[in-house]
Structures are given as structure tokens and as C-alpha cells.
A and B are shown apart, each in its own frame.
Chain A
């Protein structure tokens, strides 16, 4: 936003100021692209990708298709599951039994091997982390937030979860068990939060709107942070 306003004040001309049109007149501040040189990680990724394709392990098309699946994932899909579970106890039971099959009922195609729904209760609050890398149900929820893949979160969530939760604005009395789930192997997780009080009159879409991305990993509570 700051860039934009500086941009506007840099020169005075009376035509509409659209982004991306050509300025024939000079001088105009030029913003350098940041992608002129590859970072170490990008270079490594491209080299590895090239080798895997060359050796016939994967095809470029398979990589593209997988990225498209991740792009289809969005926290809203998880929020829809939560809202349905709040309204339909039978669906909730099926979701806790087999979350992947429950997702399919809502026409959500989860491509990870397994998806497990973990229910928050008055006695137990759940927090999801992957300490080894950044395992996350991407086909359901899309790419994880940057903090979820950070080393700080991955190491601290298992070591001092209550402190981490406090930094997210959540404080629980000692009478509430805090349970951390390390998504370190083949399962992927979605937290089923508790339905907030005072939402009895709300419909499914309104309920889903209360459920933010962070609620689905246990780092927020519905309705408080959206």
C-alpha cells in the first residue's frame, strides 16, 4: 500500500492512474523485479525437478496437476465441514469416524492418504503441528500459513504449546487439557472446533463464515478472530 501511494505522489498528471499502463513520460521510478536471480532453494528445486523429469520419475504434467489440487484447497472447504458437523450430529459422527469420506459427502475430494478430524471439547483443546516438515491437508485447506511451516512454530508447538497459544490470543485454564498432535507421518488433521454460544439462529453458510483457517489447526477459536 505504501508503494502505491508513493507512486501516486511521485508525479502529477491528470489522467486516470491505472496500474500497469505504459508511461511514455519520464522520469518514473522503477521498481526492480525480485525474481531476476534464483535463490539457492529455487535453483535446487529446478535442478531436482529437471532431474526427476529427465529420469522419468515424474512428468511435468503430474507436477502441474498436483499444484492445481493444492490450489483448489481452501480453508473454506474445512469451514464447510465444521458448519455441517455443528448442524448435523450424524454427519459429525461420520466425520469423526472418517473425515475423508465425510468430505466426499460435501463434494470435497481429499487426496491425502488419510484425514482425521480432532474434536475440541470443554475439557480438551487441540493444536496441530508437523515437527518434521510441514504436513498439512493441502487438498482440503490449500497451502498452510507461513507460521505453520516456520521452524519456530514447529519446535515450540510441541515444547511450550500453552505459550504459543497465548501468543495467538488463546488462554486456557489448567483444567483444560492442551493436546498437541504431531502430523509427522501419514495422517493429516483438521480440528473440529466447538460451536460458539449464541449461534443457534445461524444457518450453515453463516456458521462456516465464523470458522477461520487458524481454527482448523487449533490456533484460533471460531468467531473470535475472523
Chain B
């Protein structure tokens, strides 16, 4: 994970939210998986909730980002303005450059 943390994303970078198909407590909603957006905000580093949920606390902190997507990227039949967006929080290991 340490080299993951080294190659951080920057504001405005295009990213794809990947589907790690990881069981258990994960905080990447299914509706956003596979979708492309841009880095809207670098939130700093937090302990991975995928560890914390199982009592594994005090481990390394990983970067968290706010990723902004067009609603029409999320929902092709979105009923609203083309400019409407959604921003959600995604941990570094769920992101790939796009």
C-alpha cells in the first residue's frame, strides 16, 4: 500500500472508480463503480475503514479523495440538467487513472 500512497492524485485528475468486488465493509457505493470522474478535493489520509470495521485500528492511513462525476455518467437516463453532478468520497485504492 505504501507505493500506492506515494502516487497520489491531484486536483482535476481524471480517475475511474474501480470495482474491487471486495466483500465485507467497504465504503465505495456500487452505483459509482466503473464510472469516470475528476478529483474534486484531496481530503488527506484516513485509516482504511475496511480494516477499522473489523477492529484492525491504528494501521496506516490512506489518501481519501472527493471525486466529482456527471450525473449522466452515473445514470445514462438521468432526468435533469446535463451539468448536474455528484461528488463522493473514494479511497485511493479504489481509483485508477483514466
**Interface positions of A (Cβ within 8 A of B):** 57, 113-114, 116, 131-132, 158-163, 174-187
Contact = CB atoms under 8 A, between A and B. Distances in A.
Contacts of A175: 81
Contacts of A116: 41
B34 interface: no
B91 A185 contact: yes
A176 B29 CA distance: 26
Interface of B: 27-29, 31-32, 41, 43-44, 46, 49, 55, 64, 66, 71, 74-75, 79-81, 83-91
Nearest to B89: A185
Contacts of A158: 31, 74, 86
A98 to B, nearest CB: 11
B89 A131 contact: no
A158 B75 CA distance: 10
A100 B27 CA distance: 23
B43 A186 contact: yes
B89 A162 contact: no
Given A132-B29, A185-B46, A180 B86 contact: yes
Contacts of A160: 79-80
